[in-house]
Amino acid sequence: MTVLLPSYIKNVLVTGGAGFIGSAVIRKILSETDVKVFNLDKMNYASDHSSIDDLLIRRKIINKNRYKFFKVDLNDFAKTCEVVQKTEPDLVIHLAAESHVDRSISSPLNFLNSNVVGTFNILESVRKYWQKLPLKRKEIFRLHHVSTDEVFGSLGSEGFFKESSKYSPRSPYSATKAASDHLVQAWYHTYGLPTIITNCSNNYGPWQYPEKLIPMVILKALANECISIYGDGLNIRDWLFVEDHVDAILLVSSLGKLGTNYCIGGNEEKTNKDVARIICKNLESKIPIENGYYKFVNLVKDRPGHDRRYGIDFSKIKNDLGWEPKYDFSKGIEKTINWYIENIDWCQKMYKKSKYKG
């Protein structure tokens, strides 16, 4: 089932809307609805407005009056409250978060501030706004908190994460996301704030920040540089194409049951070595190189607390709401690789902006 947004949703506020998933959500809403979209983002190293600019300026297909950007850090409670009051949202999609596990190990305080304090501030800002809404608007309002399957910890060789899985985070990133999930649930049960949570598997696709595994492998291979893979390379992730995730987010925002969570996965489990091998083989068919690109793969010392396997059982969202992924990995990775080949300049700009050496 593909559902964008019901007709009574007029204003949507997206936090973290200059991030990878957030910008994809905004582009979808702007392109396929008449809804007004408001983007709150602090514009950190991984934030980028280029994909939205591409839609609004270069392609000139969207009425600019339907979109407004606010450069605001969720740690600033007063400004966050001001944005919520000013935009009068019917729906808040909360995506703003620090998400790079390696960075959480080296700088955990940033993740505590962004993921925990930031979530508290958006919840309180929204609660103050929601409590004063007229009854009709109060009844339709929702806050959708987008989280990760990493809050559930690590799986063995069998089984899958599902909505009832026990929380067992193992990195500063996943611990702070777990805390934010608990805050959202507490605001639902304590204050009656109409919230909903989704926990997704690993996303990939065009416009993803170059530090993440898939763009990193693509770009390192194209540059004929060492492709570092942690440990034995056999850690398994369930890969979800970003466009499928956006469809699921909007569907749950529209029809999901309040006070509950939905697990969203791509049904595409692969080891990190397999991901690298698939990418290298695909690149060889486009830009041949002697002895192939996989020769650049190098196994390095594992990172602390590295979860062994993630796998998602998405039967609840499939059975209740009719969602399932449209992209298999071969189709999604083909589209992703082609995009990165064509957008090397953007990747170099993002690398330079981050000043991160891993």
Told to judge if 173 belongs to the known catalytic residues of this protein, a careful annotator would answer yes
Told to judge if 98 belongs to the known catalytic residues of this protein, a careful annotator would answer no
Half-sphere exposure of 141 (CA within 13 A, CB side): 24
Residue carrying structure tokens 């995506």: 95
Task: Give 179-184 contacts, CB < 8 A, sequence gap 24+.
Answer: 179/115, 179/116, 179/119, 180/97, 180/115, 180/116, 180/118, 180/119, 180/145, 180/147, 181/145, 181/147, 181/151, 181/261, 183/116, 183/119, 183/120, 183/123, 184/119, 184/123, 184/143, 184/145
Total count of residues recorded for the chain: 358
The active-site residue out of 67, 173, 188, 340 is 173
Instruction: Decide if 317 contacts 263 (C-beta within 8 A).
Output: yes
Instruction: Give the integer Cα–Cα distance in Å for 216 and 340.
Output: 10
Nearest one of 258, 267, 252, 254 to 326, comparing CA atoms: 267
The active-site residue out of 48, 149, 243, 313 is 149
Told to judge if 150 belongs to the known catalytic residues of this protein, a careful annotator would answer yes
The active-site residue out of 41, 150, 269, 313 is 150
Active site residues: 149-150, 173
